[in-house]
A and B are shown apart, each in its own frame.
Chain A
Amino acid sequence: MTALLQLESVSKRFGQVLVADSLSFDVADGATLGIVGPNGAGKTSLFGMIAGDLPVDSGDIKFDGRSVIGLNAAARCRLGIARTFQVPHPFTGMTVFENVLVAAHQGAGLRRAAASNLAMEVITETGLDRHANTAAGRLGLLSRKRLEVARALATNPRLLMLDEVAGGLTDPEVAELVAIVRAVNARGIAVVWIEHVVRALLSTVDRLVCLAIGQLIADGEPRNVLSQQRVKELFLGTESTVAEVAQTAHAADTGGTTAPREPATES
């Protein structure tokens, strides 16, 4: 299969913090890729650079063989790159249906009935049909996360990037989410998924990478990657590393950086 997404020596730093250090990897068309890594590893920044929210310092990003570096987020979305946000960004004053419809209009380029039918289909697919007329600002966390996925799907993407959509969900909810993501992938949409809930990843992705300080420290079959010593130290951690991660997260909070606090480990 041809590579749908190609990163070539992508680098990015915020002052002293390196979030991408000459990072290169491919995602094949229709593939699934999980991304794990400690807080501040640059996972969300990576999505930002691929989606066009964050400019790269150097390197190239190609989608379907074509460089997208010069394109803004809206143009990349129209090409087929969709992302969800770790902290949901609903259009709070609009209903769930309107949230998704705007994506079908603008991202998928559909009109009238074609747009509203696609919107309703993804709303049904993500289990939000009961809430179609609910104002998005009144949704709970689970529904907000589903809305992120629904909205991304309504843009008719070829690549779907999920950022921590399983965090904070109960086991049955995670299972439901995994089923949704697998169904999406079965339609031929490539999925890249950043997730701390490792069991969700293991039941979905064929390939896993571990990102730390802007570098890929492991890449391969998920269980293989997780069993590597460096990955264990950095991500899954022993008691001491868990404490360290918690400490760095705390330091980041008090230091005023934008790194959100995440659950240290879940396995």
Chain B
Amino acid sequence: MTQAPTAPAAPVAAVRIRRSTRTSRWALGPTAIILIVLGYLPYGTGQGTTSMLVDFFILLTLGVTWNMLAGYAGLVSVGQQAYIGIGAYGVLWLAQHGVEPFLALPIAAVACAVLAVPISFLVFRLRGGYFAIGTWVVAEVLALFTIRDSALGGGTGTNVPGLGGFDPVVLGAYTYWAALAVAVISLVGSYFLLRTRVGLALTAVRDDETAARNVGVRVSRAKRIVYLAAAVGAGGAGALLAISQLNVEPHNVYGVQWSAYMIFVVLIGGIGTLEGPILGTIVFFVLQRTLASEGAWYLIIVGSVAVVMAVWVRKGLWGIAERFGLRLFPTGYHVTDTTR
């Protein structure tokens, strides 16, 4: 005979919980204004600005999703370019088979999640540094498979059909809106994921994996959810690359430099926060734009910044902001009242 434990001896309390913070409520208005301005931008500015922002949104999407992987799930992947490649080639292949490229974008992103399921079972057998190298190997293997297919342009790549019919201005605007949508979806998606029960469990995994297991967190399942979501993000970014560059080139889309960018953006901004990668992307983007003409100096400066941040500012730029109680995306639970 078993005896079920009875309810705690403490009086039953009804707990009231607030999930926003003062800064987040203040930030709501400005965020909405920024989004509206960004949405109307193609009507007001030239192609130069919007195509630059497309690159920015691609980088932002990659940073946000890599931060979920490494910052929350503890999965330090250097192989997300696998999904950038699949996303880009997905758009190419679908366009070759008569699918509208902008419709191919979400299909290719979802295809990345499907592909990520078997790959996750393979790479999740590895830990730490082995996981990192394993993901890179998977990306290289996928790249090798891709360049063997001459219909996809072999080792040199090929143009994405179906984009020539657009007026260049209209195409630029559509590409911009698609990129804005992908970036916003990955940010909002990450935010809402983190606010759920799974998100709280992930935050626990971020802080202490052993303790998380011991309070019942299904760690592998939580990590797999993030891995699949990050694959969708990288796939969307890859699909955007294919559309914005009008062609797909294997050494670009499967390049390990993407992983370097993601790591840089997240380290600079602050790992394990949602706000960090946004800040990191802005900093990286400004550095890239202003130093692009400086050749080797660009790499030296960007590298030095990364070293300084990694050694002295471990929590990144947002870590400094957080010390002042700033929080744009509150995912926590604040107990305001317990009535008895």
- Chain A interface (Cβ < 8 Å from any Cβ of B): 1-2, 4, 29-30, 51-53, 64, 72-74, 77-78, 82-83, 85, 89-95, 97-99, 101-103, 105-109, 111, 113, 116-122, 124-125, 129, 132-133, 151-158, 183, 186-189
Contacts and interface: CB of A to CB of B under 8 A. Distances in A.
Contact of B206 (A52, A93, A117, A151): A93
A85 B8 contact: no
Given A105-B201, A107-B216, A121 B12 contact: yes
A125 to B, nearest CB: 4
B8 A73 contact: no
Q: Which of B5, B14, B15 has the most CB of A within 10 A?
A: B5
Contacts of B210: 53, 73, 89
A113 B16 CA distance: 9
A91 B197 CA distance: 15
Contacts of B9: 125, 183, 186-187
A73 B15 contact: no
Kindly state the interface size class of chain B when it binds its partner: 35 or more
Given A93-B203, A188-B3, A74 B211 contact: no
B208 A98 contact: no
A190 to B, nearest CB: 9
A102 B215 contact: yes
Nearest to B209: A89
A4 B217 CA distance: 23
Contacts of B216: 74, 77-78, 103, 106-109, 155
B215 A53 contact: no
Nearest to B14: A117
Nearest to B4: A188
B333 interface: yes
B197 to A, nearest CB: 5
A181 to B, nearest CB: 12
B3 A133 contact: no
16 contacts: A77-B214, A89-B210, A92-B207, A92-B208, A94-B332, A98-B203, A98-B333, A119-B15, A120-B13, A121-B8, A124-B338, A132-B335, A151-B211, A158-B2, A188-B3, A189-B5
A83 B12 contact: no
B171 interface: no
Contacts of A113: 14-15
A102 B12 contact: no
Interface string B211-243: 111111111000000000000000000000000
A130 to B, nearest CB: 11
Contacts of B6: 187-188
Contacts of B3: 1, 29-30, 188
B5 A157 contact: yes
Interface in B302-340: 332-335, 338
B2 A64 contact: yes
Q: Which of B201, B207, B338 has the most CB of A within 10 A?
A: B207
Contacts of A99: 204
A116 B333 contact: yes
Contacts of A158: 2, 4-5
B36 interface: no
B296 interface: no
Contacts of B282: none
Given A97-B335, A186-B9, A72 B207 contact: no
Contacts of B5: 156-158, 187-189
Given A53-B210, A124-B13, A129 B338 contact: yes
Contacts of A188: 3-6
A1 B8 CA distance: 22
Given A89-B210, A91-B212, A101 B10 contact: no
A117 B15 CA distance: 6
B8 A2 contact: no
Contacts of A52: 213
Nearest to B338: A120
A93 B207 contact: yes
B7 interface: yes
A92 B212 CA distance: 12
Q: Which of B1, B13, B206, B210 has the most CB of A within 10 A?
A: B13
A185 to B, nearest CB: 10
6 closest cross-chain pairs (CB), A and B: A107-B216, A89-B211, A103-B215, A91-B207, A106-B216, A77-B216
